[in-house]
């Protein structure tokens, strides 16, 4: 796997002042306003307007961020995952290549992400496991969710978007974790 940049390759634009706590990802995307609007529209739909329960959505996002080696994405969604009901132990297991023990439904989500990240296709066995639980609308959203967060993770890694001082990073014992740049505290 390629090395992460030691510092941001594209610096985030300064905060506008009208949006407190503006994240580095959005301030970086602001360099391309049209792209940022489309990115935010799809991301907003997936986070708040989709057909998936929040906990399951966060399992997919966290595992995708982990598999893509995106500490920034993983850190941001650590907070959101906790709010969605994931425990710190579950979040830590999603950062590990060996994801540990899960319910059958949760394990199918982890397998789906691992297969998409490894082979760009979900196996027939995993598909049947998913189909037993999820509707066609939900299956499509699961695939788009994993793809969107793979795209976001690759962009974050390549641009070197720095973690905000208050954003958690990898769990302490994450296997194979690659450290992202970090903003200096203000």
In Å, how far are 6, 7, 154 from 159, measured between CA atoms? Answer: 10, 9, 8
Q: Is the pLDDT of residue 24 over 90?
A: yes
pLDDT tens string 154-166: 999 999 999 999 9
Residue range 137-155: average pLDDT?
98
Residue range 96-124: average pLDDT?
93
Tokens read off for 184: 């200096």
pLDDT at position 100 is 77
SS3 state of residue 182 = strand
Q: How far is the C-alpha of 128 from the C-alpha of 115, rounded, in Å?
A: 14
- In this prediction, residue 49 has a pLDDT band, given cuts at 50, 70 and 90, of confident
What values do phi and psi take at 163, rounded to 5?
A: -65, 140
pLDDT at position 5 is 93
**Whole-prediction pTM value?**
0.92
**Burial of residue 107 (number of CB atoms within 10 Å: 0-12, 13-18, 19+):** middle
Q: Is the pLDDT of residue 93 over 50?
A: yes
Q: How far is the C-alpha of 41 from the C-alpha of 21, rounded, in Å?
A: 19
pLDDT at position 180 is 66
Per the CB < 8 A criterion, the answer to whether 161 and 9 are in contact is no
Tokens read off for 179: 């450290």
Residues with Cβ within 8 Å of residue 59, at least 6 apart in sequence: 81, 86, 90, 94, 106, 109, 110
- In this prediction, residue 66 has a pLDDT band, given cuts at 50, 70 and 90, of very high
């Amino acid at each position: 796997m390629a090395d992460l940049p030691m510092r941001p390759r594209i610096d985030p634009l300064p905060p506008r002042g009208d949006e407190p706590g503006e994240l580095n990802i959005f301030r970086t995307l602001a360099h391309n306003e049209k792209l940022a609007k489309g990115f935010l529209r799809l991301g907003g739909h997936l986070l708040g307007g989709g057909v998936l329960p929040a906990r399951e959505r966060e399992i997919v996002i966290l595992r995708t961020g982990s598999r893509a080696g995106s500490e920034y994405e993983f850190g941001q969604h650590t907070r959101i995952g906790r709010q969605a009901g994931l425990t710190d132990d579950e979040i830590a297991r999603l950062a590990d290549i060996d994801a540990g023990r899960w319910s059958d439904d949760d394990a199918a989500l982890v397998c789906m992400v691992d297969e998409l990240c490894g082979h760009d296709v979900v196996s027939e066995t995993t598909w049947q496991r998913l189909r037993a639980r999820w509707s066609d609308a939900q299956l499509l959203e699961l695939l788009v969710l994993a793809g969107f967060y793979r795209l976001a993770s690759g962009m974050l890694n390549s641009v070197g978007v720095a973690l905000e001082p208050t954003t958690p990073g990898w769990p302490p014992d994450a296997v194979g974790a690659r450290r992202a740049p970090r903003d200096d505290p203000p």
